[in-house]
Amino acid sequence: MSGRRLSQGGLIDRSRLLRFRFDGRDFTGHPGDTLASALLASGVRVMGRSFKYHRPRGLWGAWFDDPNAVFNVRLRGDELPNCPATTTALVDGMQARAVNAWPNAENDLKGGLDLFHRWLGAGFYYKTFMWPDWHLFEPSIRKMAGLGAVDGKAIDGYVADQLHDDCDLLVAGGGAAGLAAARAAAEAGYSVVLADDHPTLGGSLYQGDEPIEGEEPQAWVAAQVAAIRAAGGRILTSTTVFGLYDHGLAALAEDRGFARAPRLWRLRARRTLVATGAMDRPITFADNDRPGVMSLQGAAEFLGRYGVLAGQRIAVLSNNSHSAPIVARLRAAGAEVIEADPAEGAPRALGGKRLSGVQIGARKIDCDTLLVSGGLTPTVHLWRHAGGKLDWSAEKAAFVPGAGPDHMLAAGAANGTFDLDPALAEARAAALGTPHATGASGYRVRPLWPQPGSKGRQWIDFQHDVTLKDVELAARENYVSVEHLKRYTTLGMAADQGKTANMAGLAAMAAIQGRPIPEVGTTTFRPPFVPVPMELYHGTRRGQAVNPLKRLELEPQHRAAGAAMGEYGGWLRPAWYGPEDQSAITAEVQAARQAAGVFDGSPLGKIEVMGPDAAAFVNFIYYNTIATLEPGHIRYGFMLRENGLIFDDGVIARLAEDRFLISCSSSHVAGVEAMLESWRQDGNDPDRIFVHDTTQHWATITVTGPQARAIVAALDTGADPATLAHMTLTEGRFGDSPLRIARVSFTGDASFELSVPASRAADLWQAVLAAGTPLGARPIGLEAMSVLRAEKGFIMVGKDTDGETMPHDLGFDVPRRKKKAAFVGDRALQTEAANAADRRQLVGLRVADSGTVLPTGAHIVTGDGPQRSIGFVTSSYFSPTLDRPIALALLESGQQRIGDRVQLRHLGQSLSATVTAPCALDPEGERLNA
Amino acid sequence: MQLFPCPFCGPRNEREFHYVAEPGKTRPDTTGDITAEDWAAYLYDTKNEKGPVREVWMHLTCRELFVMERDSVTMDVLGSKTLRRTLPAEGAA
Amino acid sequence: MRDDSQSWAPPPDHSQPLHGAGVTVTRILPVRQTLISAPDILTRQPAALGWPDVATGDRYSLCLRRDRVLEINGPERAAGWHDGQAISDITDGLIVFEIAGAAALALIQRGTEISERQPSRSVQRLGFGTELMLYRWEDRLRLHAPRADGPALWHRLKAHLDLMG
Ligand SMILES: [Zn+2]
């Protein structure tokens, strides 16, 4: 005889029947049941197989402390692995299957593995499967171990709602202490959130028969709930506070039903009260994992909440005063209870898949169920998450909250206050911040810890199959720190995170070493308190929202023109126009060189620097001298970091005496703006310099090529492009909008950058193409632009530079030698390293065989002796203009090597090339004014 | 997730902030001679202290640069103060 | 080279409001948005709004920084450094959404840590992965975001409305 449903009692609705299957058999339960309570009520004993040895396992606890009953659960086509049976609410139609067991938990084919337990001790796989290679064995071992299997099917709409909120007081735990505290605080005017992981509040109140403050538990709970709500407090049931983080941030997972993603609350609480209760500890004895050995507290919960009597003939093994009211309750419910004292002798559980009795020293008790209580352990996880310390209470044989951050409070059983009335008084005082003296505790416990050297297989960690012998082995091999013990044996590393195992494990280590328990200490408590789906952290940041790109105003026009789009520096931009890349890129480059290319340059930075000190400031920021720049003129330059390395390049225009426009690289706008702000406020007078990032107000269309001037002239802008010199800027009109025309060139051909407010971008695009198409112009993408600039040897920062490149490595040496004013990075350009003869310098590479485009990233290597990399290819393309491959590279002493033949290596392939100047097209710059 | 006090905006989620530097380092006058050792110390020497620390942070959304005192062990924030010598409001008065 | 145009849905049509969970998100088009920075800007524009101040009407200023405001539908001003102020037209640089309905703040709380109990002098904050200027306008919320982030922000707001609904 094992568990059965009583005709009355509990919080379930007996008027409705829910049907479900477990391991191929049909069962029923009621609303209010968990999978575990419904199975226990149906007499099921074996609900799982252990992780390593495939030992039969039954229920230990009734809630989050149960390590044994772990199911794959399917409901209407949705399947979730690794559902704890004790915390999974029963739903009509569920199909559950014990994990790690085949064909089922009752008759598991791998049950024979247990016979080999001698060879499967802690760390066995490190020692046994060394030769010839662990990886040979790894797949089959991994397959044998482990928990549930995923069915590989994503659940529709499984998206976590995530939100932020705040409150004055968060109460974690809706038992007696939590309810009393929440009510007191809410009635005192605090904004209160009370969260409890059960669907029904009341915590451990249903375990005994005692009235609370003169009322039946359910009536008392209802009264507190009504009072909290009336005072404006919020109550979240089925919601686990699973982590506490810095500065009062709590993470809550709100259960929204099976196969629905929980809701994540990021709750900022000014104060947090830990009222999470206490857990019954297992007793470590031989075969203490037999199905039928259960937690006394768990049995009380099954009785109180679900109306299920765990067994009929029940032996109770307890070392503490907490058991008396539960024993009385079990007897009142009709069980035959035999109490035993663990001091009588070393216990041993008897029987096979089902418990048949317990031997205690010389005494043998026949029973179908053995309820054990090794003492109460306060649930201090959240206290530790928040940085609270633990004190060892010898009187209570437990770690209890000690010193903690000011905003952290603990009350009730979580605080080691196990008696009801003192817990209520303590909780109310904590909620109101009033002083409170804890009275004498009525709780009595005799220390009872694992006995090293004792006989039999004694489980410490049920879920990860760690026994006392494994702890002893770890100690022999000198893994004596609890953190090492944990990693070596995997004690406490299962999905239950050692809720029932950690105390036994560290007490065993203490006993082995003859050290006091507090000296051994605990492992680190980390969130999440219970497993939560990864989805909880994921939410709506999925698909395109994972790392969204910035989007161009002209994206619809690009798509309509058949653009292939790609990510360039955080923007989605046209790569080329047409169905196939190479032919499109070639055609675009040819059009740009022979007629005109029309390029969407909108992401190009447009940061304005204004104010009386603006000129001095940009002169300090830039490597190049900017102070001498005339209004209306543009200069190319570099920004460095203080270590002399290139941070960004681009052009800067002087719009007026006290107004500059910085066109930094498209992908660096935010970084450049933050860098400017840093220097502005640190070392300069921020009242005389202002930095406005106007990048996204403007759309920029670049027209480049021999026909560019004619196209711009056709636009009726009020400005004459013919008189606009290279590296100057002017303002015109586009209809009734302002238009900025800058003559700068990234292609080596005459180029005009036309900027209008973004809302006019489509009109300008259309106008430019209307004027340009008859002249042979066409839109060009980023890839063609990359080729065009590489033909000229123009660099792209981050592509043709790396984390060692200084401006003189690119041939820009004048400011380093001549600039008088201080500038960012100046001193770093004069160091020994900056002057080294073997610095990598920018060069071009020309291959002999005109068909071979060098692979980007190929290493240039020394020719003789052991090969050494002396540089690498940074950009490499086939140039349609020159009808041959071109390449840029960074090469040690590159300037001295111009004309040399060099060897290259790439993925085992050998290549050769001749070092040239970076510029391969029109080195005299005649095309600019053609 | 910490709460940092921007001297202008008040407490905000730590995601809105970037660490900038240790305070108290003054940029050497680079128009004069600076030894390699002094320049290296300016660039690279950081105290990386345990316990109470002073650090320069930027509040990214309002771009305020400020000195924050906090405890690198407990994560307690002890105070924050703008880097500006003269606050605009005072300057206007 | 890879063509990712199919990996990214075309930008959403902002002209149609989003509805869900009793909330409506609408794009609005201010005639003018002007960035003004000056050491004494908060003395010049003391009414510049912070959080949770309430804007009303058509024309108002938002306090962004110690020395910067965003003027909504203010007078046309010449860009540049004039009269001790740095001025830039940013009308097309910021996309503006208005969020109406009882759960407007609850929607915003999906993307940023914000509370009416936690005032702030500045309306700028990070939310939904981008920079927002977020404030109360009459019985609604309004937010301004970088124009190029508008599609991503719209996408996230829609996803959250679907989840809340
Ligand atoms: Zn701030």
- Within a 10 A sphere around the Cβ of A511, how many other Cβ atoms? 20
Token readout for A40 is 């226990």
Q: Is the pLDDT of residue A583 over 90?
A: yes
Token readout for A151 is 């069915």
Dist. CA A162–CA A538, nearest whole Å: 9
| A688 contacts A616 by C-beta, under 8 angstroms | no
Q: Which domains does chain B have, with CATH numbers?
A: 3-26+47-82 (3.30.2270.10)
- Distance from the B7 Cα atom to the nearest Cα atom in chain C, whole angstroms: 10
| A427 contacts A275 by C-beta, under 8 angstroms | yes
Q: Is the pLDDT of residue B89 over 70?
A: no
Question: CA geometry: angle at C138 spanning C136 and C143, to 5°?
Answer: 35
Reported as a pLDDT band with limits 50, 70 and 90, residue A283 is: very high
Minimum Cα–Cα distance from C134: chain B residue: B61
**Among A422, A492, A495, A407, which Cα is nearest to A172's?**
A407
Query: CA separation (Å) from C77 to A542, A733, A815, C62, C81?
Result: 42, 17, 38, 17, 11
- Within a 10 A sphere around the Cβ of A270, how many other Cβ atoms? 14
Phi-psi region of A867 (alpha: psi -120 to 50; beta: other; left: phi over 0): beta
Q: Which domains does chain C have, with CATH numbers?
A: 15-164 (3.30.1360.120)
Q: Is the pLDDT of residue A851 over 90?
A: no
List per-residue pLDDT tens for chain C, 165 residues long: 789 999 999 999 888 999 999 999 999 999 999 999 999 999 999 999 999 999 999 999 999 999 999 999 999 999 999 999 999 999 999 999 999 999 999 999 999 999 999 999 999 999 999 999 999 999 999 999 999 999 999 999 999 999 997
Q: Is the pLDDT of residue A535 over 90?
A: yes
Dist. CA A748–CA B67, nearest whole Å: 47
Range C8-34 burial, b when 16+ CB lie within 10 A, else e = beebbebeeebebbebbbbbeebeebb
Per-residue model confidence as pLDDT tens digits over A550-579: 999 999 999 999 999 999 999 999 999 999
Same domain, A89 and A233: no
In a domain, residue A524? The reply is no
The pLDDT of residue A208:
84
Dist. CA A786–CA A792, nearest whole Å: 10
In a domain, residue A613? The reply is yes
Q: Is A773 exposed, middle or buried (0-12, 13-18, 19+ CB in 10 A)?
A: middle
Same domain, A96 and A2: yes
| A512 contacts A505 by C-beta, under 8 angstroms | no
Token readout for A337 is 């209870």
| C69 contacts C61 by C-beta, under 8 angstroms | yes
Token readout for C98 is 């208005």
Minimum Cα–Cα distance from A679: chain B residue: B65
Helix (H, G, I), strand (E, B) or coil at A731: strand
Dist. CA A268–CA A248, nearest whole Å: 6
In a domain, residue A240? The reply is yes
CATH (domain of A897): 2.40.30.110
Give CA A847 to chain center in angstroms.
Answer: 47
Rg (Cα) of chain A, in Å, rounded?
A: 37
Q: Are A572 and C8 a contacting pair at CB < 8 A? A: yes
The pLDDT of residue A145:
65
CATH (domain of A35): 3.10.20.440
User: What value of ipTM does the predicted structure carry?
Assistant: 0.98
Query: CA separation (Å) from A17 to A23, A27, A33, A257, A918?
Result: 19, 10, 10, 18, 81
Same domain, A558 and A707: yes
Which of A127, A152, A177 delimits the end of a domain? A152
Mean pLDDT of A761-770: 98
Q: Are B10 and C120 a contacting pair at CB < 8 A? A: yes
**Among A567, B64, A655, A554, which Cα is nearest to C66's?**
B64
Tell me the chain B residues in contact with residue C119 when contact means C-beta distances shorter than 8 Å.
Answer: 10
Tell me the chain C residues in contact with residue B9 when contact means C-beta distances shorter than 8 Å.
Answer: 120-122, 124
Q: What share of chain A is helix, strand, coil (3-state, %, to 5)?
A: 30, 30, 45
H helical segments located in chain C = 41-44, 104-108, 150-164
C124 forms bridges with which residues in the sheet?
C133
In a domain, residue A452? The reply is no
Per-residue model confidence as pLDDT tens digits over A304-361: 999 999 999 999 999 999 999 999 999 999 999 999 999 899 999 999 888 999 999 8
How high does pLDDT run on average in chain A? 95
Dist. CA A315–CA A351, nearest whole Å: 14
CATH (domain of A302): 3.50.50.60
Q: What is the number of alpha carbons within 13 Å of residue A751 lying toward its C-beta? A: 24
Same domain, A769 and A871: no
Q: Is the pLDDT of residue B92 over 50?
A: no
**Among A774, A805, A783, which Cα is nearest to A623's?**
A805
Q: Are C126 and B13 a contacting pair at CB < 8 A? A: yes
Residue A917 at interface with chain B, using a CB cutoff of 8 Å: no
Same domain, A35 and A141: yes
Reported as a pLDDT band with limits 50, 70 and 90, residue A118 is: confident
CATH (domain of A616): 3.30.70.1400
How far the first Cα of chain A sits from its last, in Å, is 101
Same domain, A251 and A292: no
What DSSP string runs through A239-296? EEEEEE-GGGEEEEEE--STTSPPEEEEEEEEEEEE---EEEPP---BTTTSTTEEEH
| A601 contacts A663 by C-beta, under 8 angstroms | no
Per-residue model confidence as pLDDT tens digits over C23-51: 999 999 999 999 999 999 999 999 999 99
The pLDDT of residue B86:
60
Residue B21 at interface with chain C, using a CB cutoff of 8 Å: no
| A625 contacts A819 by C-beta, under 8 angstroms | yes
Per-residue model confidence as pLDDT tens digits over A151-200: 889 899 999 999 999 999 999 999 999 999 999 999 999 999 999 999 99
Mean pLDDT of A64-90: 96
In a domain, residue A611? The reply is yes
Per-residue model confidence as pLDDT tens digits over A23-56: 999 999 999 999 999 999 999 999 999 988 899 9
Dist. CA A754–CA A704, nearest whole Å: 11
Token readout for A68 is 């044994």
Reported as a pLDDT band with limits 50, 70 and 90, residue B93 is: very low
CA dihedral over C111, C112, C116, C121, signed as positive or negative: negative
Dist. CA A63–CA A819, nearest whole Å: 73
Same domain, A316 and A264: no
Per-residue model confidence as pLDDT tens digits over A396-447: 999 999 999 999 999 999 999 999 999 999 999 999 999 988 788 899 999 9
Helix (H, G, I), strand (E, B) or coil at A299: helix
Same domain, A70 and A148: yes
Reported as a pLDDT band with limits 50, 70 and 90, residue B91 is: very low
| C50 contacts C123 by C-beta, under 8 angstroms | yes
In the chain, the amino acid numbered A886 is: I
- Distance from the A175 Cα atom to the nearest Cα atom in chain C, whole angstroms: 29
Q: Is the pLDDT of residue A142 over 80?
A: no
Dist. CA A159–CA A536, nearest whole Å: 8
% of chain A residues with pLDDT over 70? 99
- Within a 10 A sphere around the Cβ of A790, how many other Cβ atoms? 26
Tell me the chain C residues in contact with residue A696 when contact means C-beta distances shorter than 8 Å.
Answer: 92-94, 146-148
Instruction: Tell me, in angstroms, the distance from the centre of ligand 1 to residue A161's CA.
Output: 28
Q: Is the pLDDT of residue A125 over 80?
A: no
Q: Are C126 and B88 a contacting pair at CB < 8 A? A: no
Instruction: Tell me, in angstroms, the distance from the centre of ligand 1 to residue B65's CA.
Output: 9
Q: How many domains does chain A contain in total?
A: 6
Which of A327, A351, A373 delimits the end of a domain? A373
Give, for B92, the enclosing helix (H) or strand (E).
helix B88-92
- Within a 10 A sphere around the Cβ of A595, how many other Cβ atoms? 20
Q: Tokens 């030894």 — which residue?
A: B35
Domain that holds residue A237: 161-279+378-432
Residues in chain A: 930
Range C120-151 burial, b when 16+ CB lie within 10 A, else e = bbbbbbbbbbbbbbbbbbeebbbbbbbbbbbb
- Within a 10 A sphere around the Cβ of A472, how many other Cβ atoms? 19
In a domain, residue A60? The reply is yes
Token readout for A48 is 């799982």
pTM, rounded to two decimals: 0.93
Q: Is the pLDDT of residue A651 over 50?
A: yes
Mean pLDDT of A80-98: 96
The pLDDT of residue A209:
78
Same domain, A707 and A593: yes
What DSSP string runs through A395-406? TTTEEEE-S--T
Minimum Cα–Cα distance from C126: chain B residue: B16
Same domain, A22 and A121: yes
Q: Is the pLDDT of residue A119 over 50?
A: yes
Tell me the chain B residues in contact with residue C128 when contact means C-beta distances shorter than 8 Å.
Answer: none
- Within a 10 A sphere around the Cβ of A139, how many other Cβ atoms? 9
Same domain, A616 and A577: no
- The residue with greater pLDDT, A576 or A100, is A576
Backbone phi, psi, residue C6, to 5° = -80, -20
Backbone phi, psi, residue A612, to 5° = -60, -30
Which of A112, A135, A152 delimits the end of a domain? A152
- The residue with greater pLDDT, A797 or A134, is A797
- Distance from the C75 Cα atom to the nearest Cα atom in chain A, whole angstroms: 17
Q: Are B15 and C125 a contacting pair at CB < 8 A? A: no
Dist. CA A271–CA A182, nearest whole Å: 12
Minimum Cα–Cα distance from B85: chain A residue: A685
In a domain, residue A34? The reply is yes
Backbone phi, psi, residue A869, to 5° = -75, 130
In the chain, the amino acid numbered A304 is: G
In a domain, residue A456? The reply is no
Dist. CA A308–CA A86, nearest whole Å: 13
**Among A322, A330, A457, which Cα is nearest to A377's?**
A322
Same domain, A663 and A685: yes
> Could you say which DSSP state residue A852 is in?
-
